[in-house]
Amino acid sequence: MAQASSHQLTFRLSCWLLAIMAFAQLMTAAIALAMRLEMAKASPRTEPIAINLPKVAINEPLIAPIAPLIADTKKLPPPAPAPVPQTIVEKVNPAPLPQPKSLSMPEIGDPITEKLWKEAKTARLAEDMMTAITKLEQALQQSPKQPHVLFELGLCHEDMGIYDRAKQYYHQVFQLGTTTAGQLYVQAAEKLKSGFEQPQDKINRLVLGRIRVFQDSARKEGEKIVLTIPIQCPPSEKIEGRDLEVRVNFFEEWGAQKEVQPADTSLGRVEYQWTTEPLDWSTGEELLQVTYTPQAPDAQQAHLFGQKKYHGQVVELTYKGQLIDAQAWPRILAHRLNRPDSSPMFLEGELPADFNAENPLLPNASEASLPHTHIPSSAESAMSENGHRSDTAGLPPLPAQP
């Protein structure tokens, strides 16, 4: 019982406490409202101010009539065309670019290497390839990566026709670059790009022009023939004079029958001279002058064999030992040289009546009188080889050809 009474007392006290707190809040709200009302009553009241604006009389309508405006537009000039936008281009003169520096030939620093290289080049020009390669190999041991030595080795192997080995040396020069190889770098690159030129590549690019002949037959000492031979080539072609050879074969006619025979130039004198040096073909043509002075005529020989006289010549142009062009004058000389045996000409009445046209090598006999030709078998051929008689032994011998 005592415990229940204590709980009721606590409950009552709590209710009273809550009631007191609620009353205090209500009193606080009432006081705040009363103070606000008092402040509102104490503030002054503002009256509105009346502003008197002057009256403006509007005599003209705000909107003008449309018809006069439309009529006036017909009298107006046409509108000007819209201006075309112009783009202003400022001319700028760029500064000129510097000219590229031309590559120069590299120098050979070692004097021993330079001496061996010069000796090898001289030997190559003299076509002594063994000496040239020996000198260059010695120079290569002295200076292993010298571009002049490597390039010269490539030229030697190219002249000998060993193109794979020459390509290896040119490639080594190319790998050295422009800093080390200089102008040789460009030449090696051109060799690798264009390949190796063969003599037949010059056909139709290196030709003989029209040959001019001057014959001085009024000389008391005898004849004198001067040939001016033009050798034509495109200016872009690179030709070394040592690879080019011009041979002139002179011909003479003897006696009243004018028999044509090759001239014996060893008894006379033949001179070759280039009239346009150096040989660079910058104009597309170089001139070679050939002067032939035959031996002075001998009265006794002329009485026995007849007078001899200049007849013509055959000019041959060779490049690296291969014939690429030729000219003959008169033209019959070319036919005689290229075709020494002409086609036979048979005339009626000149052949014998019993001529065997089917087999002209057999003697003149009728077919009935000819022995039967037996073709031996392999066994019979073997017997004939072992010393036995062959059936072909009975055949008549072939007549000797005239």
Q: Which domain holds residue 139?
A: 111-196
Say if residue 121 is in the same domain as residue 192: yes
Quote the number of domains for the chain: 2
**351 vs 355: CA distance, rounded Å:** 7
Please check whether residue 132 is in contact with residue 124, taking contact to mean a CB–CB distance below 8 angstroms: yes
The verdict on 216 and 291 lying in the same domain is yes
Given a contact cutoff of 8 angstroms between Cβ atoms, the answer to whether 159 and 124 are in contact is yes
In a domain, 26, yes or no: no
**Could you say which of 338, 358, 384 is where a domain stops?**
338
CB of 163 within 8 A of CB of 196?
yes
Structural domain contains residue 397:
no
- Burial bucket for residue 265 (CB in 10 Å: 0-12, 13-18, 19+): middle
Q: How far apart are CA 233 and CA 256, in angstroms?
A: 42
Residues 250 and 289 in one domain: yes
How far is 303 from 366, CA to CA, in rounded Å?
A: 51
Give yes or no: residues 243 and 319 share one domain.
yes
| Structure-block tokens of residue 235 | 């200016």
**pLDDT recorded at residue 134:** 92
Q: Where are the alpha helices (DSSP H) in 145-234?
A: 147-159, 163-175, 177-181, 183-194
Same domain, residue pair 314 and 225: yes
Q: Do the beta carbons of residue 175 and residue 163 sit within 8 Å?
A: no
Query: Can you read off the two tokens belonging to residue 323?
Result: 């014939």
Q: Which of 293, 312, 338 is the last residue of a domain?
A: 338
Q: What is the DSSP letter of 208?
A: E
Q: Is the peptide bond before 230 cis (omega within 30 degrees of 0)?
A: no
- Inside any domain, residue 221: yes
Query: Is 344 a member of any domain?
Result: no
Classify residue 201 by its DSSP letter: G
278 DSSP assignment? S
Chain center to CA of 194: 6
CA 292 to chain centre: 42
End position of a domain, from candidates 145, 166, 196 = 196
Do 292 and 272 reside in the same domain of the chain?
yes
Indicate whether 219 and 182 sit together in one domain: no
- In this structure, the answer to whether residues 290 and 215 fall within a common structural domain is yes
Identify whether residues 172 and 248 lie together within a single domain: no
Q: Give the CATH number, domain containing residue 127.
A: 1.25.40.10
DSSP strand E in 220-352: where?
224-232, 244-254, 259-262, 269-274, 285-293, 308-319, 322-329
Could you tell me the CATH number of the domain that includes residue 294?
2.60.40
Same domain as 121, residue 149: yes
pLDDT (tens place) for every residue of the chain, 402 residues total: 566 677 788 888 889 999 999 999 999 998 988 888 888 777 666 666 666 666 655 555 555 555 554 555 555 667 777 777 777 666 666 777 777 677 788 888 888 999 999 999 998 888 888 999 999 999 999 888 899 999 999 989 888 888 889 899 999 999 998 888 888 998 888 888 877 666 556 666 788 888 888 877 666 677 888 888 888 888 767 777 777 889 898 888 876 667 787 888 877 888 998 887 777 777 888 888 999 888 776 666 655 656 778 888 889 888 877 888 888 888 777 766 653 333 333 334 444 555 444 444 455 554 445 444 444 443 444 444 444 443 433 434 434 443
Q: What is the pLDDT of residue 56?
A: 56
The Cα–Cα gap between 226 and 253 comes to: 18
